[in-house]
Chains A and B, each alone.
Chain A
Amino acid sequence: MSSSIFDSIYILILAGFVGYMVITRVTPLLHTPLMSATNAISGISLVGSLVAAGSNQGFLSTLLGFIAVTAATINVVGGFMITDRMLRMFKRREDK
């Protein structure tokens, strides 16, 4: 971690505000897909997991990294697939 910790805190807070703006505009109709989409996105820890699993820092890192990669992949793959499956079901009258 570098001295840029304050930069990171700025980013955290600004992204939080963006999140607020975006989320309050999401239609309540799609609150479940919203949850599963953010769930898939939180699988972004995959990025950290990949480094842990693949950078040869000893057995423990590789093992924990491997479990983390598996868990995060479940979220990413499953989360996006099921969000799309749900969104496909939402149809208007004229679409039928």
Chain B
Amino acid sequence: MNDYLLNAAYLVAAVLFILGLMALNSPRTARRGIFLAEIGMLLAVVGTLLRNEIVSFEWIIVGFIIGSLIGGAMAIFMPMTAMPQRIALSHSFGALAAALVGIVKYNEHLPHVDNALMVVIGFEVLLGSLTVTGSLMAFGKLQELIKGAPIVYPFQNISNIILFFGTVSLFIILIFFPGLTVLFYVLIGAALLVGILMVLPIGGADMPVVLALLNSYSGLAAAATGFAIDNKMLIIAGSLDGASGFFLSMMMSKAMNRSFANVLFGAVGSAPSGQAATGQEEAKTVTRYTPEDVSYMLENARSVIIIPGYGMAVAQAQHVVQELSASLIARGILVRFAIHPVAGRMPGHMNVLLAEANVPYDLLCEPEQINDDFPNTDVVIVVGANDVVNPAARYKKDSPLYGMPIFDADKAHTIVVLKRSLNPGFAGEDNELFYDKKTMMVFGDAKKTLTSLVQLLKERAAVAV
């Protein structure tokens, strides 16, 4: 194929990728944007297939078929609650492709690998390999194949630092002596190990940051591939992804009021969660209520805000939450949802679950939009959330939550908390909101509680008619 035509195709593809991501600023334009990005991908792939270097197509076609079957099946059958796992898994696929292309490139140029080429191939296999294992670890934790809690052991930070610098030194030696094939594979092995050890000490609630960071790495691995095969379009696409993941993880860290470093290395040496709570188990009492009590409360409310958290996803309660909101709206009650940026296991997790359950997205509010409305709100319903409504974040300076932007749920007239137990949230900080006089604690499975709540409201509505 004509070189000019091919480059033009790549150029158009790069522009379409940017336009596609830009369209994600509103749900109304988003689907069109994804369509543009798909066209861009199609152009890039078809253009590449027409290149003269590609002489045999058997393996390509087999790869296309297997990949499409697996990818399509995952896209169609994966439940929305499993979205964080799916994202983690596909980061590892993308990174695997980049790493393998790096290995092929290295072998192709042996025994005369240019030093500069070694730099980019090195980045490619390094980022690719550590993303492969890091993402698989994240997948294992999210799928609960591995313990979700941080895994810590003595001298963890020290051994990680040694491994990290060892890997970097290997890379530097390789840049000057690219012909040391054995070293190249040792480098890959070391990077794979770095990926595992990096994610090991990270707990479930920090997953949004880690997933976004792995997103960034897999993008950068693609950009490095672009350097290795001298393809500008790949550099642009990879750089976009890298920036996207990086800034997302920054936003997530900020929403938790934690630094990047704290998320990545914070678990090591920290006290096991729960300790903070046991330290202050004085005679604080909570008042238990039944769904029936709550239903009376709701009938007399004019405005309700629902705050969902990871517990809603665990209990698979998003559909019954929707039923509840619909029945309240039918009664003329103003219902909105307050979504915290770090609620759930990935950025935007709650929004997707509620959208799946048919909650209109204009009811979903960010903290800045809704926080001023809490004092005028009759009932707040907290479904499986904890740290994001903990008032300690506002004033308790020694708390791990201090400074984190939270919802001012405690300012509402009545707060209903649906929870399985009194266990502290991920930060290990006891939540005084639960002991507030205005708070109605309803213990038990959120889905069951909400189902009986919806049932009660329905029955009473029927009687009223």
Kindly state the separation between the CA atoms of A7 and B364 in the bound complex, as whole angstroms. 44
Q: Which residue of A lies closest to B86 (CB)?
A: A82
CA distance A24 to B37 in the complex (A): 19
The residues of B that contact A89 with a CB separation of less than 8 Å are 80, 352, 355-356, 358
- A48, B228: Cβ atoms closer than 8 Å: yes
A69 CA / B230 CA spacing, docked (Å)? 19
A25 touches B248 (CB 8 A): no
Cα distance A10–B444 in the bound complex, in angstroms: 56
Q: Is the CB of A61 within 8 A of B21?
A: no
Within 248-282 of B, Cβ neighbours of A (below 8 Å) are at: 248
Q: Once the chains bind, are A69 and B219 in contact (CB under 8 Å)?
A: no
Taking the nearest CB of chain A, how far is it from the CB of B386, in angstroms?
20
Q: How far is the CB of B82 from chain A (nearest CB, A)?
A: 11
Contacts of B358 in A (CB 8 A): 89, 91, 96
List residues of chain A with CB within 8 A of the CB of B103. 64
**A70–B71 CA distance with the chains assembled, in angstroms:** 9
Instruction: State the CA gap A91–B230 with chains docked (Å).
Output: 42
Check: B392 CB closer than 8 A to any chain A CB.
no
Q: Is the CB of B74 within 8 A of A31?
A: no
Q: Which of A1, A15, A29, A69 contacts B59 (CB 8 A)?
A: A69
From B24, B71, B117, give the contact of A34 (CB < 8 A).
B24
When distances are taken between beta carbons in the complex, the residues of chain B under 8 Å from A15 are 235-236, 239-240, 243
Q: Interface size on B (CB < 8 Å)?
A: 110
Please tell me if B232 contacts chain A, counting CB pairs below 8 Å. Answer: yes
Partner of A1, one of B51, B75, B116, B211: B116
Q: Hey, what's the 0/1 contact readout for A65-90 against B, CB within 8 Å counting as 1?
A: 11111111111111111111111111
Chain A min CB distance to B346 (Å) = 6
Q: Which residues of B contact A96 (CB under 8 A)?
A: 358, 360
Nearest neighbor of A19 in chain B, beta-carbon distance: B243
With A44-B233, A44-B237 in contact, is A39–B72 under 8 Å at CB? no
Alpha-carbon distance between A13 and B227 when the two chains are bound, in angstroms: 13
Instruction: Assess whether B27 is in contact with A44, with CB atoms less than 8 Å apart.
Output: no
Task: Specify the main secondary structure of chain A where it touches its partner.
Answer: helix
Is the CB–CB distance between B240 and A22 below 8 Å? yes
Q: Let me know if B64 and A90 touch, CB within 8 A.
A: no
**Which residues of chain B have C-beta atoms less than 8 A from A90's C-beta?**
27, 30, 351, 355, 361
In the assembly, what is the distance between CA of A34 and CA of B246, in Å?
A: 13
Task: Flag whether B104 is at the interface (Cβ < 8 A).
Answer: yes
Binding-face segment, B40-48, B142-150, B175-183, B374-382: B40-48
Point out the residue from B49, B75, B116, B245 that lies within 8 Å of A81, measured CB to CB. B75
Contacts of B116 in A (CB 8 A): 1, 5
Docked-complex contact A27 and B231, CB < 8 angstroms: no
Q: Which of A26, A51, A62 contacts B24 (CB under 8 A)? A: A26
B39 to chain A, nearest CB (A): 11
- Digitize B347-383: 1 where CB-to-A-CB distance is under 8 Å, 0 elsewhere: 1110110011010111110100000000000000000
A-B contact pairs, 22 of them (CB 8 A): A12-B223, A22-B18, A22-B240, A23-B243, A31-B347, A32-B87, A39-B218, A40-B41, A41-B20, A41-B241, A42-B218, A44-B237, A46-B45, A51-B229, A61-B104, A65-B101, A71-B97, A75-B93, A82-B86, A90-B27, A90-B355, A91-B360
Chain B residues with a Cβ under 8 A of chain A: 17-18, 20-22, 24-27, 30-31, 34, 37-38, 41, 44-45, 48-49, 51, 53-57, 59-60, 62-64, 66-68, 70-72, 74-76, 78, 80, 83, 86-87, 90-91, 93-94, 96-98, 100-101, 103-105, 107-108, 114, 116-117, 120, 211-212, 215, 218-219, 221-223, 225-245, 247-248, 339, 341, 346-349, 351-352, 355-356, 358, 360-364, 366
Given contacts A61-B108, A78-B70, 6 further A-B contacts (CB under 8 A): A41-B21, A42-B215, A49-B97, A73-B71, A87-B30, A89-B355
